[in-house]
Amino acid sequence: MGKLILFIATSLDGYIARPDGGIDWLENMYNPDQIDHGYESFIGTVETLIMGRTTYDKIRGMGIEWPYTGKRTYVLSSNDKFSPSTPETYLCSESPASLTARLKSECNGNIWLVGGGITCSSFFTGQLVDEIILTIIPVILGEGIPLFDRKLPFSSWKLIRSETFSSGAVSLHYRIQP
């Protein structure tokens, strides 16, 4: 059975994107050694992805080939007229709890909760996330889309690994405490 893992980058002040959804600050960050900050290692453990519709549209609008070929992707949207245009990608209007339970029973690999803020909050509100891999990028945006868009219920997390990178980023890997 797979784990539901949030793998995401945030600014020092807790934003995952600019107010318009822009992530240029990630794409243009100081990274002379072209470090992937653990992405390749992580994505190798992932069987299935869950993302919000805005995140899906943002990735599709980047003018790149779909980066998740070979992995099932569920796009959360209440718009039943929306039809994903990428391989193995499915529209999902299930509740976070129902979707998580179903995917955990079906998956051998991990489930990546991709984002954004509304999607992350709905899964954390339901206390459905098993692990967080949070990469903190050393920039302050001042405003933007926060990692969580609402107040969350209390939960306790255990740090299981941390890593610093020559880019100045820090990766923190947490597991939910029972």
Distances (CA, A) of 136 to 52, 139, 142, 171: 21, 9, 15, 6
Residues 6+ away with beta carbon under 8 Å from 165: 35, 37, 171
- Structurally, the chain folds into a number of domains equal to 1
pLDDT at 85: 92
pLDDT at 12: 97
Q: Could you tell me whether strands 145-146 and 15-17 are parallel, antiparallel, or unpaired per DSSP bridges? A: antiparallel
Q: Is the dihedral of CA 124, 104, 83, 87 positive or negative?
A: positive
Print pLDDT tens along the chain (178 aa): 889 999 999 999 999 999 998 999 998 988 888 889 999 999 999 999 999 999 999 999 999 999 999 999 999 998 989 999 999 999 999 999 999 999 999 999 999 999 888 899 999 999 999 999 999 999 999 999 999 888 899 999 999 999 999 999 999 999 999 8
Could you list the residue range(s) of the whole structural domain that residue 162 is in? 4-176
pLDDT at 89: 97
Q: What is the CATH number of the domain that holds 74?
A: 3.40.430.10
